[in-house]
Amino acid sequence: MLEGDKIKVAQGENPCYLLLNQANRHGLIAGASGTGKTVTMKVLAEGFAQAGVPVFMADVKGDVTGMAQPGDDTEKVRERAAALGAAGWEPRGCDVRLWDMLGGDGVPVRITISDMGPDLLARLLGLTDVQRGVLAIAFRMADDNGMLLIDLKDLRAMLGYLSEHASEVEALYGRVSSQSVGAIQRALLTLEDAGGDIFFGEPALDITDWLVTDDAGQGTVNILNAAKLMASPQVYAMFLLWMLSEIYELLPEAGDLPKPKLVFFFDEAHLLFDDMPKELTDKIVQTVKLIRSKGVGVYFVSQSPADIPDEVLAQLSNRIQHGLRAYTPAEQKAVRAAAAAFRENPAFDSAEALLELGTGEALVSLLNEDGQPSIVERARVLPPECRMAAADAATLEAIGVAQAHLVEKYGEAIDRESAYEKLAAEKSAAAEADALAAERAQLEKERAEFEKQKAAEADRAAKAAAKEEERVAKAAEREAERAQKAAEKEAERAARAAEKQREQAMKTVSSVIGQIGRETSRQLLRGLFGNLRK
């Protein structure tokens, strides 16, 4: 609970206060399951909210929503609060907003592929240097050609374009192998199966929507529904790292402030670091180091400090360590390492205490006014003023009404024209051009065939005409021959007839002459004989 410019977290032999002006030095809440980490996180978060500091929290188990509802006002809780010196304890909730990355209840959280950037995306996908270079070419080509990379289908389309036009791309940007493109596509498929197809898109989250206070000046508690995300650790880690990077880019340098501008609580922090490449771990270390100067506090929540890389752990100055279990040599070593991280208290042995702590107890070491870790205290954590369990249905409904303006802003996904649509249009235009060219080629082919056929028909017609002409000439020649023969025959017949007629005439003449001769002879004889008679 808030007391002036500090948050009372726990009470041991001495009270344990988290100073607001030291809260951006980051922190750690660790402990085995069931030791009270979530309660401690709620105590800190509501203290920040009461101080007017916006908070972001991941709700892994589904019970963080209880921060929106006043806690149970029971005699037992009041007795604990009084025993721990929290005289002003009163049940009250916080101004809560619920967010969701995988399409569940809450305001949708989306970011674009361009926002993620090639470096961060390549590291999270576990790409090799060569594959990372190909991914960078895809982003560069998209920028150079005015193509937005909004969701996974945009990136896939761009990668497909690179593969199909590898020779052209190589001349401008460098070599792109089909094997590298295939490997990236497979990694994207895994990411999509983990919920990346819902997470990447528009409208993209504007983190300034988290940097708000309510009408009473209290910071808004932004709760991310992370229950499903535990099955998609890759998306969860990607989002958390993007948030840190985005906040770092967004906020100006602030130096040391009386209180943080924003505080993050990353529950199940081991998911952020499991199997993480060293380059990505270095990126987180760098961001955690630098983001402090932006007035942002980061608090990792995990079962053991061993879950967090030493380079990151070294940046976490405010520590609340709940009980640990040590049944194996490795776990016993982890207990000793956790105990050694505290500034020793001569009143007890920290390693033994870590094995003895009950639920709601912790070893606490927070920075003092001089920025030094305080001597570790074995203390009992205060009860939160909000509800321990998840919020009831009526409270969740009220949250939905209160965040209606955010649902209106982010609720409906937008799929505007981006790389996928432009490349699809280009491909369609190219296909249409190819179809048109093919149609023209077909027409030209048909025209050529028609001309060929026409020429062949003309040739056949000419040949037929020539043949007909030859036939007619031959027929005329034959007719002439027949006419000539007929004429000759007729002439011969006429000659024979004339000869026959002449012969007949001759015969007639001869006959006439003969007749005349005979008559003359008779007349002569008659005359002769007549003269004789006389």
Are residues 220 and 356 part of one domain? yes
Q: Do 34 and 50 have their domain in common?
A: yes
Q: Provide the number of structural domains found in the chain.
A: 3
Instruction: pLDDT band for 61, please (50, 70, 90 cuts).
Output: confident
Query: 239 and 102, same structural domain?
Result: yes
- Cα–Cα distance between 118 and 331 in angstroms, integer? 38
Asked if residue 15 is part of any domain, the answer here is yes
Q: Give the residue with greater pLDDT, 531 vs 263.
A: 263
Q: Is residue 499 part of a domain?
A: no
Beta strands in 114-248 (DSSP E): 221-225
- For 227-246, the pLDDT digits (tens) are 777 777 777 777 888 888 88
Same domain, 175 and 306: no
Contact assessment for residue 269 and residue 302, using Cβ atoms and an 8 Å cutoff: yes
pLDDT in tens, 429-448: 777 777 777 888 888 888 88
d(CA 246, CA 328): 40
Amino acid at the residue 419: A
Question: Which range, of 61-70, 174-183, 420-429, averages the lowest pLDDT?
Answer: 420-429
Percent of the chain with pLDDT over 70: 94
The residue ranges of DSSP E strands in 316-376, in sequence order, are: 318-321, 361-365
Q: Is residue 90 part of a domain?
A: yes
Does residue 534 register a pLDDT over 60? no
Task: Kindly state whether residues 91 and 136 are assigned to the same domain.
Answer: no
Q: Which has the closest alpha carbon to 17: 65, 86, 102, 70? A: 86
Same domain, 382 and 268: yes
> What are the pLDDT digits (tens) for 1-37?
899 999 999 999 999 999 999 999 999 999 998 999 9
Q: Supply the DSSP symbol for 38.
A: H
Whether the model clears a pTM of 0.85, i.e. scores above it, the answer is no
SS3 4: coil
pLDDT score of 120 more than 60: yes
Neighbours of 104 (CB within 10 A): 14
Within a domain: 89: yes
Mean pLDDT of 133-155: 93
My answer on whether 150 and 64 are in the same domain is: no
Separation CA 112–CA 378 (nearest Å): 46
Give the residue-averaged pLDDT of 171-176: 89
Collapsed DSSP state (helix, strand, coil) of residue 465: helix
CATH code for the domain of 4:
3.40.50.300
Residue 520 has pLDDT above 70, yes or no: no
Q: How far apart are CA 367 and CA 371, in angstroms?
A: 5
Higher pLDDT, 355 or 289: 355
* Mean pLDDT for all residues in the chain: 88
Q: In degrees rounded to 5, what are phi and psi of residue 266?
A: -105, 95
Query: What are the angstrom distances between the C-alpha of 13 and each of 9, 216, 348, 377?
Result: 13, 34, 12, 7
The region that residue 128 occupies, defined by phi over 0 for left and psi between -120 and 50 for alpha, beta otherwise, is beta
Question: 365 and 253 in one domain?
Answer: yes
Angle at 466 between CA 465 and CA 472, to 5 degrees: 85
- The one-letter code for the residue type at 439 is E
* pLDDT at residue 298 is higher than 70: yes
Q: Distance between CA atoms of 317 and 306, rounded to whole angstroms?
A: 16
Average pLDDT on 451-464 reads 85
Q: Is 235 found in the same domain as 274? A: yes
Least confidently predicted of 145-154, 248-257, 339-348, 350-359: 248-257
**Does residue 94 fall inside a structural domain?**
yes
**Same-domain status, 354 and 258:** yes
Rounded distance, CA 78 to CA 358, Å?
A: 19
In which residue are the tokens 């006389």 written?
Answer: 534
Asked if 407 and 420 sit in the same domain, the reply is no
Domain that holds residue 180: 116-187
Nearest to 224 by CA among 65, 460, 445: 65
The whole-number average pLDDT for the span 475-486 is 81
The DSSP result for 181-192, as a single string, is HHHHHHHHHHHI
Rounded to 10 deg, the angle between the 118-125 and 278-291 helix axes is 130
Residue 521 buriedness (CB in 10 A; 0-12 / 13-18 / 19+) = exposed
* Residue ending a domain, choose from 412, 431, 446: 412
Q: Is the same domain home to 398 and 422?
A: no
The per-residue pLDDT for 519 is 67
